[in-house]
Structure 1
Protein backbone atom coordinates (compact mmCIF):
# COMPACT_ATOMS: atom_id res chain seq x y z
CA UNK A 1 0.00 0.00 0.00
CA UNK A 2 1.20 3.49 -0.80
CA UNK A 3 -0.08 6.89 0.28
CA UNK A 4 -0.42 9.69 -2.24
CA UNK A 5 -1.03 13.31 -1.29
CA UNK A 6 -4.39 14.51 -2.58
CA UNK A 7 -4.29 16.78 -5.61
CA UNK A 8 -7.82 18.14 -5.96
CA UNK A 9 -7.56 18.66 -9.72
CA UNK A 10 -6.30 15.12 -10.28
CA UNK A 11 -8.35 13.34 -7.60
CA UNK A 12 -11.58 15.40 -7.58
CA UNK A 13 -13.98 12.58 -8.48
CA UNK A 14 -12.24 10.10 -6.18
CA UNK A 15 -12.28 12.30 -3.06
CA UNK A 16 -15.90 13.35 -3.62
CA UNK A 17 -16.97 9.73 -4.00
CA UNK A 18 -15.09 8.68 -0.85
CA UNK A 19 -16.74 11.52 1.09
CA UNK A 20 -20.21 10.56 -0.17
CA UNK A 21 -19.51 6.91 0.64
CA UNK A 22 -18.57 7.90 4.20
CA UNK A 23 -21.95 9.64 4.59
CA UNK A 24 -23.75 6.57 3.22
CA UNK A 25 -21.99 4.30 5.70
CA UNK A 26 -22.34 6.67 8.66
CA UNK A 27 -25.87 7.96 8.10
CA UNK A 28 -27.49 5.58 5.62
CA UNK A 29 -27.49 8.17 2.82
CA UNK A 30 -25.47 11.07 1.41
CA UNK A 31 -28.15 13.69 2.03
CA UNK A 32 -25.98 15.53 4.60
CA UNK A 33 -23.05 15.74 2.22
CA UNK A 34 -24.23 19.11 0.95
CA UNK A 35 -22.65 20.80 -2.02
CA UNK A 36 -19.64 19.23 -3.70
CA UNK A 37 -18.05 22.66 -4.04
CA UNK A 38 -18.26 23.33 -0.30
CA UNK A 39 -16.41 20.10 0.48
CA UNK A 40 -13.79 20.76 -2.18
CA UNK A 41 -13.24 24.33 -0.91
CA UNK A 42 -12.85 23.03 2.65
CA UNK A 43 -10.47 20.33 1.46
CA UNK A 44 -8.38 22.80 -0.58
CA UNK A 45 -8.00 25.07 2.45
CA UNK A 46 -6.96 22.19 4.70
CA UNK A 47 -4.50 20.85 2.13
CA UNK A 48 -2.87 24.30 1.87
CA UNK A 49 -2.36 24.27 5.65
CA UNK A 50 -1.20 20.65 5.98
CA UNK A 51 -0.70 18.90 2.60
CA UNK A 52 0.83 15.71 3.98
CA UNK A 53 -2.22 15.23 6.22
CA UNK A 54 -4.58 14.53 3.31
CA UNK A 55 -3.78 11.36 1.39
CA UNK A 56 -5.29 8.61 -0.69
CA UNK A 57 -4.37 5.01 0.03
CA UNK A 58 -3.53 3.06 -3.11
CA UNK A 59 -3.09 -0.68 -3.52
CA UNK A 60 -2.47 -2.62 -6.71
CA UNK A 61 -2.93 0.59 -8.72
CA UNK A 62 -6.39 1.31 -7.24
CA UNK A 63 -7.43 3.91 -4.67
CA UNK A 64 -8.89 2.06 -1.70
CA UNK A 65 -9.22 4.75 0.91
CA UNK A 66 -8.71 8.32 1.98
CA UNK A 67 -7.26 9.76 5.18
CA UNK A 68 -7.73 13.28 6.44
CA UNK A 69 -5.71 14.47 9.42
CA UNK A 70 -6.79 17.65 11.13
CA UNK A 71 -5.37 19.36 14.16
CA UNK A 72 -8.00 20.37 16.70
CA UNK A 73 -7.91 21.98 20.08
CA UNK A 74 -9.38 20.10 23.02
CA UNK A 75 -9.27 21.39 26.58
CA UNK A 76 -6.40 23.70 25.68
CA UNK A 77 -4.35 20.99 23.94
CA UNK A 78 -3.79 20.42 20.25
CA UNK A 79 -4.65 16.91 19.15
CA UNK A 80 -4.56 15.10 15.83
CA UNK A 81 -7.84 13.75 14.51
CA UNK A 82 -7.95 11.21 11.67
CA UNK A 83 -10.97 10.72 9.42
CA UNK A 84 -10.51 7.48 7.51
CA UNK A 85 -12.59 6.52 4.49
CA UNK A 86 -11.99 3.07 3.17
CA UNK A 87 -13.76 1.71 0.15
Structure 2
Protein backbone atom coordinates (compact mmCIF):
# COMPACT_ATOMS: atom_id res chain seq x y z
CA UNK A 1 0.00 0.00 0.00
CA UNK A 2 1.54 3.25 -1.10
CA UNK A 3 -1.21 5.58 0.17
CA UNK A 4 -2.43 5.85 3.75
CA UNK A 5 -5.82 4.35 4.40
CA UNK A 6 -8.77 6.69 4.88
CA UNK A 7 -11.61 6.05 7.33
CA UNK A 8 -14.99 7.59 6.47
CA UNK A 9 -18.44 7.16 7.99
CA UNK A 10 -20.47 4.57 6.10
CA UNK A 11 -22.85 6.10 3.56
CA UNK A 12 -25.66 3.54 3.57
CA UNK A 13 -27.50 5.07 0.63
CA UNK A 14 -24.47 4.63 -1.60
CA UNK A 15 -22.78 1.60 -0.06
CA UNK A 16 -25.33 -0.77 1.47
CA UNK A 17 -24.30 -3.46 -1.03
CA UNK A 18 -20.68 -3.11 0.14
CA UNK A 19 -21.81 -3.45 3.76
CA UNK A 20 -23.75 -6.61 2.97
CA UNK A 21 -20.81 -8.05 1.00
CA UNK A 22 -18.49 -7.45 3.96
CA UNK A 23 -20.95 -9.13 6.31
CA UNK A 24 -21.38 -12.09 3.95
CA UNK A 25 -17.62 -12.61 3.57
CA UNK A 26 -17.14 -12.37 7.34
CA UNK A 27 -19.95 -14.86 7.92
CA UNK A 28 -18.35 -17.37 5.55
CA UNK A 29 -14.91 -16.90 7.18
CA UNK A 30 -16.50 -17.40 10.60
CA UNK A 31 -18.81 -20.33 9.95
CA UNK A 32 -17.38 -22.00 6.84
CA UNK A 33 -20.35 -21.40 4.55
CA UNK A 34 -23.07 -18.89 3.88
CA UNK A 35 -25.78 -21.24 5.20
CA UNK A 36 -27.80 -19.11 7.60
CA UNK A 37 -26.38 -15.83 6.30
CA UNK A 38 -29.54 -14.79 4.44
CA UNK A 39 -31.67 -15.26 7.55
CA UNK A 40 -29.40 -12.91 9.49
CA UNK A 41 -28.48 -10.35 6.83
CA UNK A 42 -30.62 -10.92 3.72
CA UNK A 43 -33.19 -8.55 2.29
CA UNK A 44 -35.70 -9.41 5.00
CA UNK A 45 -33.30 -8.62 7.83
CA UNK A 46 -33.19 -5.51 9.96
CA UNK A 47 -29.45 -5.05 9.34
CA UNK A 48 -29.78 -1.81 7.31
CA UNK A 49 -31.91 -0.18 10.03
CA UNK A 50 -29.66 -1.58 12.77
CA UNK A 51 -26.56 -0.19 11.07
CA UNK A 52 -28.25 3.17 10.40
CA UNK A 53 -28.97 3.48 14.13
CA UNK A 54 -25.35 2.64 14.98
CA UNK A 55 -24.09 5.22 12.47
CA UNK A 56 -26.41 7.88 13.90
CA UNK A 57 -25.26 7.15 17.45
CA UNK A 58 -21.49 7.15 16.80
CA UNK A 59 -20.61 7.83 13.15
CA UNK A 60 -16.85 7.62 13.67
CA UNK A 61 -17.22 4.01 14.86
CA UNK A 62 -19.06 2.80 11.75
CA UNK A 63 -16.72 3.41 8.86
CA UNK A 64 -15.59 2.18 5.54
CA UNK A 65 -11.86 1.90 5.06
CA UNK A 66 -10.66 3.33 1.78
CA UNK A 67 -7.46 2.89 -0.19
CA UNK A 68 -7.70 5.61 -2.80
CA UNK A 69 -11.16 5.30 -4.36
CA UNK A 70 -11.73 1.67 -3.30
CA UNK A 71 -13.49 0.40 -0.18
CA UNK A 72 -11.17 -2.21 1.29
CA UNK A 73 -12.64 -2.66 4.75
CA UNK A 74 -15.38 -1.92 7.22
CA UNK A 75 -15.60 -1.32 10.95
CA UNK A 76 -18.76 -1.33 13.07
CA UNK A 77 -18.64 -0.44 16.75
CA UNK A 78 -20.68 1.09 19.53
CA UNK A 79 -20.45 2.23 23.10
CA UNK A 80 -22.14 -0.11 25.54
CA UNK A 81 -24.55 2.09 27.54
CA UNK A 82 -23.62 2.59 31.17
CA UNK A 83 -20.22 0.94 30.95
CA UNK A 84 -16.62 1.53 29.93
CA UNK A 85 -16.85 -1.13 27.20
CA UNK A 86 -17.14 -0.69 23.45
CA UNK A 87 -18.55 -3.54 21.41
CA UNK A 88 -16.93 -4.08 18.04
CA UNK A 89 -19.44 -5.74 15.73
CA UNK A 90 -17.25 -5.97 12.65
CA UNK A 91 -13.58 -5.73 11.72
CA UNK A 92 -13.34 -6.50 8.00
CA UNK A 93 -10.79 -6.32 5.21
CA UNK A 94 -11.24 -7.55 1.65
CA UNK A 95 -9.14 -10.67 1.04
CA UNK A 96 -6.46 -8.88 -1.01
CA UNK A 97 -5.56 -6.71 2.01
CA UNK A 98 -5.39 -9.48 4.59
CA UNK A 99 -1.87 -10.28 5.71
CA UNK A 100 -0.56 -6.87 4.56
CA UNK A 101 -0.51 -5.16 7.95
CA UNK A 102 -3.62 -3.13 7.16
CA UNK A 103 -5.69 -4.88 9.84
CA UNK A 104 -3.42 -3.45 12.54
CA UNK A 105 -4.33 0.02 11.26
CA UNK A 106 -8.00 -0.84 11.77
CA UNK A 107 -7.38 -1.79 15.39
CA UNK A 108 -5.33 1.40 15.90
CA UNK A 109 -8.21 3.40 14.46
CA UNK A 110 -10.69 1.79 16.88
CA UNK A 111 -8.43 2.65 19.82
CA UNK A 112 -8.20 6.27 18.63
CA UNK A 113 -12.01 6.45 18.40
CA UNK A 114 -12.88 4.85 21.73
CA UNK A 115 -10.09 5.76 24.15
CA UNK A 116 -10.96 9.52 24.24
CA UNK A 117 -14.56 8.52 25.05
CA UNK A 118 -13.46 6.89 28.31
CA UNK A 119 -13.62 3.32 27.03
CA UNK A 120 -11.36 0.94 28.95
CA UNK A 121 -12.07 -2.28 27.02
CA UNK A 122 -12.96 -3.29 23.49
CA UNK A 123 -14.91 -6.52 23.06
CA UNK A 124 -15.76 -8.53 19.97
CA UNK A 125 -17.02 -11.98 19.10
CA UNK A 126 -15.08 -14.47 17.02
CA UNK A 127 -15.94 -17.95 15.79
CA UNK A 128 -13.62 -20.64 17.23
CA UNK A 129 -13.10 -21.98 13.71
CA UNK A 130 -11.74 -18.66 12.46
CA UNK A 131 -8.14 -19.44 13.45
CA UNK A 132 -6.68 -16.65 11.33
CA UNK A 133 -8.76 -14.00 13.08
CA UNK A 134 -8.05 -15.42 16.54
CA UNK A 135 -4.30 -15.46 15.83
CA UNK A 136 -4.44 -11.86 14.59
CA UNK A 137 -6.34 -10.68 17.66
CA UNK A 138 -3.98 -12.51 20.04
CA UNK A 139 -0.99 -10.91 18.30
CA UNK A 140 -2.56 -7.48 18.82
CA UNK A 141 -3.31 -7.77 22.53
CA UNK A 142 -6.74 -9.40 22.59
CA UNK A 143 -7.55 -12.31 24.90
CA UNK A 144 -10.33 -14.88 24.85
CA UNK A 145 -12.50 -14.18 27.85
CA UNK A 146 -15.83 -16.03 27.57
CA UNK A 147 -18.37 -17.74 25.40
CA UNK A 148 -20.79 -15.23 23.97
CA UNK A 149 -24.07 -15.13 25.85
CA UNK A 150 -26.01 -14.17 22.73
CA UNK A 151 -24.61 -16.70 20.26
CA UNK A 152 -23.15 -20.02 21.44
CA UNK A 153 -21.27 -20.37 18.12
CA UNK A 154 -18.82 -17.60 19.03
CA UNK A 155 -16.34 -16.64 21.74
CA UNK A 156 -15.86 -13.23 23.28
CA UNK A 157 -12.45 -11.56 23.02
CA UNK A 158 -11.37 -8.45 24.86
CA UNK A 159 -8.60 -5.88 24.59
CA UNK A 160 -7.70 -3.39 27.28
CA UNK A 161 -7.03 0.08 25.93
CA UNK A 162 -3.62 1.66 26.61
CA UNK A 163 -4.87 4.12 29.24
CA UNK A 164 -6.06 1.19 31.40
CA UNK A 165 -2.71 -0.61 31.24
CA UNK A 166 -0.85 1.97 33.37
Structure-1-length-normalised TM-score: 0.84
Aligned to 2:73: 65
Structural RMSD (CA) = 1.7
Q: Which has the larger radius of gyration?
A: 2
List 4+ stretches of structure 1 deviating above 6 A: none
Give the structure 2 partner of residue 85 of structure 1: 92
Q: Equivalent residues in 2 for 1:1-87 (5 A)? A: 1-33=5-37, 34=40, 35-36=42-43, 37-72=45-80, 77-82=83-88, 83-87=90-94
Supply the distance in 2 between the matched residues of 1:39 and 1:32 (Cα, whole angstroms): 14
Look up the match of 2:115. none
Q: Distance in 2 between matches of 1:47 and 1:81?
A: 14
Unmatched tracts of structure 2, length 5 or more: 95-166
User: Which of structures 1 and 2 has the larger relative contact order (alpha carbons within 8 angstroms, sep 6+)?
Assistant: 1
Over 3 Å counting, the alpha-carbon distance change for 1:78 and 1:31 in structure 2 is farther
State how many pairs are aligned. 85
